[in-house]
Amino acid sequence: MTEQLDLFSSFQPDETPAPPPAPTPARAPATVASPSRQPSPVRRATIRPLPDNGLPKDPSGRAADLGEAVAGVWHKQHGGTRIEVPIGLVAALCFVRQKDAHGPGLKAQILAQDDRQLIAMYRQIWSAQWLHRPDLIDRARILHEWLNDAEEPDKHRTYVVRAVTKTILDRGLLELTGHADPYLRAQADVLSPTLTALRSLGAQQGLGEYHTPSPISDSIAEVLLGELTTEMFTDHLKNLKPQQHIHDPAAGSGGMLRSAAQKLRREGLDPADFRWSMVDIDPIAAACAAVNALTWGLGPRVTVACADTLANPHAVEDAMAQARAVIEHRDRVVGQAHMIAAIRRTQHLLEQTTATAA
Q: Compute the average pLDDT of residues 217-233.
A: 49
- For 59-93, the pLDDT digits (tens) are 999 999 999 999 999 999 999 999 999 999 999 99
DSSP of 146-191, one letter per residue? GGG-SSPP-HHHHHHHHHHHHHHHHTTHHHHH--SSHHHHTSS-SH
The mean per-residue pLDDT over the stretch 179-195 comes to 95
Higher-scoring residue by pLDDT: 23, 111: 111
Domain boundaries, the chain: 4-36+55-326
Average pLDDT over residues 185-214: 73
Helix or strand or coil: residue 348?
helix
Lowest average pLDDT, out of 36-50, 107-121, 247-261, goes to 36-50
Tell me what the mean pLDDT of segment 186-199 comes to: 95
Q: CA-to-CA distance for 251 and 265, rounded, in angstroms?
A: 20
**pLDDT given for residue 353 in this prediction:** 73
Res 213 pLDDT > 70: no
Higher-confidence residue: 337 or 288? 288
pLDDT at 79: 94
CA-to-CA distance for 128 and 246, rounded, in angstroms? 28
Pairing state of beta strands 302-306 and 275-280? parallel
- Is 154's pLDDT higher than 50? yes
In terms of Cβ atoms closer than 10 Å to its own Cβ (0-12, 13-18, 19+), residue 8 is: middle
Read off the DSSP letter of residue 245: E
Mean pLDDT of the 205-223 span: 52
- Bigger pLDDT: 54 vs 28: 54
